[in-house]
Amino acid sequence: MKWGMEKASSFTKSLFNTDKDPVDIVLEDEEAMKGISEEFAQEVIADMKQRYETRKSERIKMDLQIRLNINFYNGEQFTKMDSFMNDIEESLPLSTWEERNVFNEIAPAIETRFAILSKRKNNLKNRPASASSEDRTSAKIGNKILASTKRRLSMGELQQEANLISGIMATAVWKTVWDSSRGRIVGEIAREITDKENENLTKYEYENKLLGYSDKTITRKIREGDVLTTIHSPLEVFPENIAVPDRKQRRTMHVALISPDELFERWGAIEEGKDNDTYKITASSDKAYGSGVTGFSSGSMFASVTVHDTVKVYEEWELPSARYPDGRLIVCTDNNLLHYGVMPDKMGEDGGYILPFKAQQSLKSDGYFGKSVIERMISVQIQYNAIKNRRQDYINRVAIGVISAEENSLVDEDYFLENGIAPGDMLLHKLGSNPPKFLDNHDLPVDLRQEEESLLSMFDRLSGVSQLAKQSVLPSQVTSGVAIAGLAEQDDTRIGLEGENIKHSLIAVGKMQLMLYHNNVVYPRMVEDIGSNNEFEISQFKGSDLTSFDIFVESEPEASDTLSQRRQKVVELLNGGLFNDPETGNISSEGRIKVFEMLELGDWENFVEADNDQKKRAERENNAMVTGEDARMLEFDDHVIHISSHNNFRLKAEYDEALSENPEIDERITAHVDEHLRALQQLTSTEQQMGGLQPEQLTPSTFGGETGGPNGQSQ
């Protein structure tokens, strides 16, 4: 098959990254797709499916390991890999009396790791590109967008889902794209239904008439588009080479099952849903698991099942090359080519193309997919189940007993073999034969108990969490508070590597989100407010407002710290005076807010809400005076706070930058500060009210620090 570069460049570009009307862009995109010959489309689909099957066969062993991990986490632990059949099969019991209970130590260990990781507050922040006022403003806009996107996409829940998938399946894949099917509706287009599509609709002719489709047209809503970040299991993502990390991949394919309705909403295509195979938890055979001495019970396992009314969608992203300078994005089903064009967005740091996938690994590896802690624990779990069940076998033998009887000595041997001997039973034996008797049982070996304790200790070492974290139970030999704190810190240290992997993944996702907004938001768009106490308030933005894409994770308390430990640290910092203003020696308003935030006592910001509102007004005055407007003093202004805010603003680098362009700014601000000083002198009539200073001694330098209270009273 030969695809020329001229053919690739003649197809669709990205949606909503120009100043064209969105409806016109969709119409152009559909017209471009109509220009693709059916023969070429089928060649693309065949090539895509062939690559999918090839990559799927190359990772069979990895997929089997993932399925086995899921089984053991769910407690379906009498399963194993069949290397010959390349499938997961059930381990059948050796005998009918064998105990086959599951004593799952993997699940609590993994859940404890989730609990420790969930304490980490990974808040993404946008760092300004420079100290200039424009870049600082851009970073504030970026922070607002990141916070709004976090709430809209429920990034906290997505992170929990990613932690669960990566913890069990070794890797969770983040995918961040610009989805044209999201956002506000900006228009609609109507088109005729093709003969091929009509075959799927003729089955519902009566319903089509009710919905207005009798004229063979269909209407599709056009939306403004928005960022979409999703989490996918490694079973859905097929990189070109699993031996190299995600940053070195040149092609990555994503294969998913979706409903016919979602297919139409996203791509405008009509296709009938079919039966497709996927993996999910399903019931196992009724001879897989034993329960009790002689009974069997059915279980469940992670296996291949058939789901109905779904469409398999293949989506492959390819980086630029000599053959395809702008890369390629191909989307198709088994029957239809949905999209063929260049990569839609440049999300790289240097304005280049990158793939929209980020692999979050549980345990780091040098390939695309990582490793799971469960893989290390499976062999230990098998031994642990065996020992616990053999102990139960021993207890059964002791409690029920094993009877010895001479051959043909019993009058009713059939009853004896079927029911044994119940308490109070009369067992008749033939005259001259020895009566049946119970065999003596040997003592349970001490080595068995020691091996059980050794395996439990091995679980803790392999999982990276101790009994203190899993059960809140201290080791018997540990009594020191310092030692207890050390154990908790060790738990966090061993899980810290996975925490770092999570941070790196979130940073990569945050960069992609900002780049997508930068590339696609041409017209002003509303953004939700971060919070009532956010100093920077903005109601709309454009992509061009974003100039910095340097994302970092905001510092957070150690995950191992409890709330009481953090509060104790805050008290120690308070006693040390680290929250006090260096000029007045008293705690500042910002210090009080920070203390209440660290103590986690609820919404205590309203305690200093009046001061915050005064500072916000003073900052609005600063912005107005920089742009050439005069600030008007009002009678309810807190003069001390206003003077302090204006003076602090004049100490910043962005003020020097503005002053170099317009020297009149300093005269305007000085006049405004003098106005506040005169008003404050009128309110200050005694020496005690201003800490020993006479009213005529008040100067702007007196208010260099951010201190003050209502109506100019110091605090």
Structural domain contains residue 280: yes
Residue 7 contacts residue 43 (beta carbons within 8 Å): no
Is the pLDDT confidence value at 244 over 90? Answer: yes
For 191-229, what is each residue's pLDDT tens digit? 677 666 666 655 556 555 555 555 567 677 778 888 999
Strand partners, 330: 316, 340
What CA–CA distance (Å, rounded) separates 587 from 595? 10
Structural domain contains residue 213: no
C-alpha triplet 272, 278, 280: angle, nearest 5°: 130
Residue 369 contacts residue 242 (beta carbons within 8 Å): yes
**Domain end call among 331, 355, 374:** 374
Residue type for position 294: T
For 435-464, what is each residue's pLDDT tens digit? 877 777 777 777 888 888 888 888 888 887
- Position of tokens 């067992």? 427
Structural domain contains residue 448: no
SS3 call for 111: helix
Structural domain contains residue 461: no
Q: Concatenate the DSSP letters of all residues of 202-225 into one string.
A: GGGHHHHHHHT-TTSEEEEEEE--
What CA–CA distance (Å, rounded) separates 147 from 65? 37
Q: Concatenate the DSSP letters of all residues of 430-470 into one string.
A: -TTSPPPEEPPPPPPPHHHHHHHHHHHHHHHHHHT--HHHH
Instruction: Kindly state whether residues 422 and 284 are assigned to the same domain.
Output: no
SS3 call for 269: coil
Question: How sure is the predictor about 34, in pLDDT bands with cuts at 50, 70 and 90?
Answer: low
| C-alpha closest to that of 659 among 622, 630, 700, 706 | 622
For 525-561, what is each residue's pLDDT tens digit? 877 655 544 444 555 788 888 888 889 887 554 444 5
Residue 528 contacts residue 539 (beta carbons within 8 Å): no
CA dihedral 566, 569, 575, 581 (to 10 degrees): -70
Structural domain contains residue 189: no
What CA–CA distance (Å, rounded) separates 342 from 318? 9
User: For residue 681, what are the domain limits?
Assistant: 605-712
> Taking the CB of residue 327, how many other CB atoms lie within 10 A of it?
22
Query: Count of domains in the chain?
Result: 3
CA dihedral 193, 197, 199, 205 (to 10 degrees): -50
Say whether pTM exceeds 0.85: no
Question: How sure is the predictor about 466, in pLDDT bands with cuts at 50, 70 and 90?
Answer: low
Q: Which residues contact 119 (CB under 8 A, 6 or more apart)?
A: 559
Q: Which residues contact 239 (CB under 8 A, 6 or more apart)?
A: 55, 246, 249, 251, 252, 253, 368
Task: Give Cα 535 to chain centroid, integer Å.
Answer: 28
Q: Which residues contact 310 (CB under 8 A, 6 or more apart)?
A: 257, 258, 259, 273, 274, 275, 276
Q: Which of 3-7, 127-131, 245-249 has the lowest mean pLDDT?
A: 3-7
Greater pLDDT, 683 or 7: 683
Structural domain contains residue 569: no
Q: How far apart are the first and last CA of the chain?
A: 79
Q: What's the residue count for the chain? A: 715
Average pLDDT, the chain: 76
Q: Which of 249-263, 473-487, 637-651, 696-710 has the lowest mean pLDDT?
A: 696-710
Instruction: Kindly state whether residues 360 and 421 are assigned to the same domain.
Output: no
Instruction: Kindly state whether residues 417 and 299 are assigned to the same domain.
Output: no
Structural domain contains residue 191: no
Read off the tokens for 453. 């304790």
Structural domain contains residue 192: no
Tell me the backbone φ, ψ of residue 270, rounded to 5 degrees: -110, 120
Max avg pLDDT among 93-102, 379-388, 485-494: 379-388
Residue 118 contacts residue 162 (beta carbons within 8 Å): no
CA dihedral 627, 632, 636, 639 (to 10 degrees): 70
Instruction: Kindly state whether residues 413 and 310 are assigned to the same domain.
Output: no
Instruction: Kindly state whether residues 359 and 414 are assigned to the same domain.
Output: no
Instruction: Kindly state whether residues 62 and 129 are assigned to the same domain.
Output: yes
Question: How sure is the predictor about 627, in pLDDT bands with cuts at 50, 70 and 90?
Answer: confident
Instruction: Kindly state whether residues 53 and 150 are assigned to the same domain.
Output: yes
Instruction: Kindly state whether residues 421 and 281 are assigned to the same domain.
Output: no
Instruction: Kindly state whether residues 168 and 253 are assigned to the same domain.
Output: yes
Residue 222 contacts residue 196 (beta carbons within 8 Å): no
Question: How sure is the predictor about 12, in pLDDT bands with cuts at 50, 70 and 90?
Answer: very low
Instruction: Kindly state whether residues 416 and 366 are assigned to the same domain.
Output: no
Residue 188 contacts residue 225 (beta carbons within 8 Å): no
Instruction: Kindly state whether residues 164 and 259 are assigned to the same domain.
Output: yes
**Domain end call among 374, 394, 415:** 374
Greater pLDDT, 19 or 571: 571
Strand partners, 257: 312
Distant-in-sequence contacts of 580-585, Cβ < 8 A, 24+ apart: 581/705, 581/706, 581/707, 582/705, 583/704, 583/705, 583/707, 584/705, 584/707, 584/714
Instruction: Kindly state whether residues 418 and 306 are assigned to the same domain.
Output: no
**Domain end call among 438, 459, 483:** 438
Question: How sure is the predictor about 50, in pLDDT bands with cuts at 50, 70 and 90?
Answer: very high
